[in-house]
A and B are shown apart, each in its own frame.
Chain A
Amino acid sequence: MRRCGKMAPAGGTTALLRAVVGGLRGPGRPLWARDAPQLCSTQAATKAPPTPPSPYQEKPWAYLESEEYRATYGDNPVWHGYRRNHKGAIPPQRTRKTCLRKGKLVGNPCPICRDRNLHVDFRNVKLLDQFICPHSGIIFHPTYTGVCMRQHKLLSKAITQAQEHGLLWLQVPYVPVPQEDFSNRHPAVGKTPPAPTLAPGHPWYPWYEWQPPPAADIARMRRLYKDYLKEKEPPPAVGTPMDTPPAPCVEPRGE
């Protein structure tokens, strides 16, 4: 950029002088340079005041009864008369993904996005009814109504929610009457008496409590250690546990 006024001095101080001359506007612009005029609308304009939130946020169904709605749409559904903009005669089989990009509406928004008072909610049944075929009960395809894919998804969810809450009609499949035995006598579903071992006082598993070892094992041990036994005869076979186990005591090998 050429400078006027001062003669460009030699060499290394050019950048420094430029900075000094440019001042607060930055190194590339002289102090007297003004901002270029705003000639076209694509340049940054003054920000518009933010739109107030819709008064029907809490009660979206109230809008469909209001004068405003009647004046705008009359008796037609909200998507009546909407035309998509696309190249060629055959429209793409999917509408646009969403009408709201970076917080702003695109050109020619879909029938729901263009009216800020229309809220897709499972409680405003009148709006949801406009997107259901009155003859077959299916939800219209977005290419028929022109809504964006995001709104179509929200609509489908709201419609199923309304059907679950009983606000919208739902086709109920015919289920024949169940023909089974309803007496509930089978042990899988009826009362089963507890096992005799599970009476109170008995341990749940027999091995929870001490049990006397089988006689064959006692005889085998006695045979193995017969040279070291203190008593000549085996102790009487008892069923109840004693304080000390009646196993044959082995003499400690000399310590």
Chain B
Amino acid sequence: MAALGAGGSAAGLARLRRVARTLWGWRARRGLGQEAGAAGGGEGGRPAFTDEVVQSLLCKMTGLNLQKVFRPVKMELKPPKYKLMTEAQLEEATRKAIEEAKEKLVMPPVLNEREPIDDVLAEDKFLEGTETTKYVFTDLTYSVPHRERFIVVREPNGVLRKATWDERDRMIQIFFPKEGRRVIPPVIFKDEHLPNVFRQDRHEDLLNMCIAQFEPDSPDYIRVHHRTYDDIEKHAKYDLLRSTRHFGGMVWYLVNRKKTDGLLIDMIHRDLLDDTTSLITLYHMLHPECQSAKEAKVQKLQGIDLIKVFVKTESQKEGYVQLALQAYEEAMATSTGS
């Protein structure tokens, strides 16, 4: 499984992305795809995380800062390599780097929490009292995907049931170990130790570790992600996740819970007006019944007008956003004037 992402040429990886897109696209079209947990109930026409439009908006907001994506990490010290290139070669190298960065910025799926498994296959009462421990039987066929692998547990009272999700994850990790995943999840993912990580501004590292350790639909994965997003929103540390693969998930979470004000202010401070318009468009897509959505549709607003209408009707921290907008407009006026 690790070979999927690590090796392969750009063509192979592009093929994988196409496959993923068709898979997600198919699921979204069929209506069978799992959509993110939203504030309201999921309706038929509601946009999902995996929709093309939504993904394009989130990608635009994430941005692509090559310096941040390919920043040096602590590793074995080697002498630096220097290459002498022409302009054309440099452009080619930059293009390749952008492609590689896009692969690295593929967003992890946002799913609902999985349903617990509690199916009983047999109840052989005559086995009661013969054993003192549970027995776990795992199907070890190599070519079977892990989600289609049968794992059953025989209890001491004779009941043969399907293994729970925790037991499944543990058994699959024991027999088919994955890189970066431990059989017993590390202590860092417990609620009492998360603040230690947040204090050091290591949200991105934590989310990467979470992706490595848990399945995307497990309750621990969702809990850690939500705590991280809450902490970022509380301290306005949005820039930590910009240009990483977690930014899209964070924006989706915030827009679903209508907590977009801090992000809006941050974007205006950094002069990212396009991102603000994309954010508000996404908000209107997800909450079409809100007043600003209706006004925008009627009046076909663009740019700053859209932001102003949104701020007037939907935001909780109206004052701060207005201040930021004013500062931006003044800066624009002085720069154009001078």
A residues adjacent to B (C-beta < 8 A)? 135-138, 164-167, 169-186, 188-189, 191-192, 194, 204
Known: A175-B5, A180-B147. A167 touches B34 (CB 8 A): no
Given contacts A175-B180, A178-B216, A186 and B148 within 8 Å (CB-CB): yes
Instruction: Report yes or no: B122 in contact with A204, Cβ–Cβ below 8 A.
Output: yes
Contacts of B178 in A (CB 8 A): 175
In the complex, whether B196 has a CB less than 8 A from a CB of chain A is yes
Q: How far is the CB of B41 from chain A (nearest CB, A)?
A: 20
Known: A175-B212, A179-B4, A182-B34. 5 other contacts (CB 8 A): A164-B186, A166-B200, A172-B209, A173-B212, A176-B106
Among B107, B119, B125, B151, point to the contact of A177 (Cβ < 8 A). Answer: B107
Chain A residues near B109 (CB-CB < 8 A): 177-178, 182
Is residue B211 within 8 Å, beta carbon to beta carbon, of the partner chain? yes
Q: Which residues of A contact B187 (CB under 8 A)?
A: 164-165
Complexed CA–CA distance, A109 and B73 (Å): 36
In the docked arrangement, what's the CA distance between A181 and B109, Å?
11
Distance (whole angstroms) from the CB of B145 to the closest CB of chain A? 6
Which B residues form the contact surface with A (CB < 8 A)? 1-2, 4-6, 16, 19-20, 23, 27, 32-34, 73-77, 104, 106-109, 111, 114-115, 117, 119-120, 122-125, 145-151, 162, 165, 168, 178-180, 186-188, 193-194, 196-197, 200, 202, 205-206, 208-209, 211-212, 215-217, 245
Provide the bound-state CA to CA distance between A164 and B184, in Å.
12
Task: Return the chain A residue nearest B6 by Cβ.
Answer: A176
Contacts of A184 in B (CB 8 A): 114-115, 147, 217
Chain B contacts of A136 at CB under 8 A? 74-77
Residue of B nearest to A161 (CB): B187
With a cutoff of 8 Å between Cβ atoms, the chain B residues found around residue A172 in the complex are 180, 205, 208-209, 212
Contact, CB under 8 Å: A183 / B34? yes
Contact of A188 among B120, B148, B193, B200 (CB under 8 A): B148
Question: Judging by beta carbons under 8 Å apart, are A183 and B27 in contact?
Answer: yes
Q: How far apart are the CA atoms of A194 and B75 in the complex, in Å?
A: 54
> Could you name 30 residue pairs across A and B whose Cβ atoms are closer than 8 Å?
A136-B77, A137-B75, A164-B187, A164-B188, A165-B188, A169-B74, A169-B200, A169-B202, A173-B179, A175-B5, A175-B180, A175-B208, A175-B212, A176-B4, A176-B5, A176-B6, A177-B5, A177-B106, A177-B211, A177-B245, A179-B4, A180-B147, A181-B23, A181-B147, A182-B109, A183-B27, A184-B114, A189-B147, A189-B168, A191-B119
A138 CA / B186 CA spacing, docked (Å): 20
Chain A residue with the shortest CB-CB distance to B186: A164
Q: Is the CB of B197 within 8 A of A177?
A: no
Which residues of B sit under 8 angstroms from A171, Cβ to Cβ? 73-75
C-alpha gap A171/B180 in the complex (Å)? 11
- B109: nearest chain-A partner, CB-CB: A182
Task: Give the residues in chain A near B202, CB-CB below 8 Å.
Answer: 166, 169
A138 — which chain B residues lie within 8 A by C-beta?
76
Q: Which residue of B lies closest to A171 (CB)?
A: B74
By the criterion CB–CB under 8 Å, are A183 and B211 in contact? no
Shortest Cβ distance from A179 into B: residue: B20
A181 touches B5 (CB 8 A): no
Asked, given contacts A164-B188, A177-B106, whether A186 binds B147 with beta carbons under 8 Å apart, the answer is yes
Question: Which residues of chain B come closer than 8 Å to A175, judged between CB atoms?
Answer: 2, 5, 178-180, 208, 211-212
User: Which residues of chain B have C-beta atoms less than 8 A from A204's C-beta?
Assistant: 122-125
Q: Which A-B residue pairs are the 9 nearest by beta carbons?
A: A176-B5, A137-B74, A166-B197, A175-B212, A166-B196, A166-B188, A186-B148, A172-B208, A177-B108
Closest Cβ neighbor of B195 among chain A residues: A166
Q: What residue of chain B has the Cβ atom nearest to residue A183's Cβ?
A: B32
In the complex, how many angstroms separate the beta carbon of B69 from the nearest chain A beta carbon? 11
A236 nearest CB across to chain B (Å): 33
Nearest-Cβ distance from residue B34 to partner chain A, whole angstroms? 6
> How far does the alpha carbon of A167 sit from the alpha carbon of B179 in the complex, in Å?
22
Q: CA A173 – CA B193 in complex, angstroms?
A: 21
Task: Give A191 to B121 CA distance when docked, in angstroms.
Answer: 11
CA distance A171 to B216 in the complex (A): 22
In the complex, what residues of A have CB within 8 A of residue B124's CB? 204
- Of all chain A residues, the one with the shortest Cβ separation from B4 is A176
Residue in A174, A180, A189, A191 whose beta carbon sits within 8 Å of that of B104 in the complex: A174
Give which listed residue, A135, A167, A183, contacts B74 with CB less than 8 A.
A135
Q: Do A188 and B150 touch across chains, with their CB atoms under 8 A apart?
A: yes
CA–CA, A151 and B26, complex, Å: 58
**Residue of A164, A172, A173 most packed against chain B (CB within 10 A):** A172
Give the residues in chain A near B179, CB-CB below 8 Å.
Answer: 173, 175
State the Cβ distance, B7 to closest chain A Cβ, in Å.
Answer: 11
The winner among A137, A177, A191 for most chain B CB atoms within 10 A is A177
